[in-house]
């Protein structure tokens, strides 16, 4: 993805918006891992470890704000393409 092009910047802004919204919705990720504790003959004992990752909502809001600012910048650039240039009058001082 080329972020120098307007299309690339819009895609990047969209990704930031989606990522920020996901972080705000799912701020805590919980999963578990298992490992074999010991093995005697046919018997296996498994150990389970709970893991969690907590992301503060500030990170989600910051990513969301960055995406909104990038998108606003692209909309501004797009609108400026069609704005008529204003000519200064010769009589104004």
pLDDT in tens, the chain (93 residues): 677 788 888 899 999 999 999 888 887 888 899 988 888 888 888 899 999 988 888 999 999 999 999 999 988 888 888 876 666 665 555
Between CA 84 and CA 93 the distance in angstroms is 22
Residues ≥6 apart with Cβ < 8 Å to 22: 60
Query: Is the CB of residue 48 less than 8 Å from the CB of residue 30?
Result: no
23 DSSP β-pair partners: none
pLDDT confidence of residue 93: 54
Between CA 19 and CA 53 the distance in angstroms is 16
pLDDT confidence of residue 87: 65
pLDDT confidence of residue 67: 93
Exposure b/e, 29-56, CB count within 10 A at least 16 = b: eeeeeeeeeeeeeeeeeeeeeeeeeeee
Q: How many CB atoms lie within 10 A of CB 64?
A: 19
pLDDT confidence of residue 88: 66
Q: How many CB atoms lie within 10 A of CB 74?
A: 16
């Amino acid at each position: 993805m080329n972020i120098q092009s307007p299309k690339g910047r819009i895609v990047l802004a969209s990704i930031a918006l989606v990522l920020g919204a996901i972080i705000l919705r799912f701020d805590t990720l919980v999963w578990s891992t298992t490992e074999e504790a010991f093995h005697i003959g046919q018997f296996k004992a498994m150990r389970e470890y709970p893991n969690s990752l907590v992301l503060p909502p500030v990170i989600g809001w910051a990513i969301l704000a960055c995406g909104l600012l990038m998108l606003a910048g692209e909309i501004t650039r797009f609108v400026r393409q069609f704005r008529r240039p204003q000519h200064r009058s010769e009589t104004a001082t």
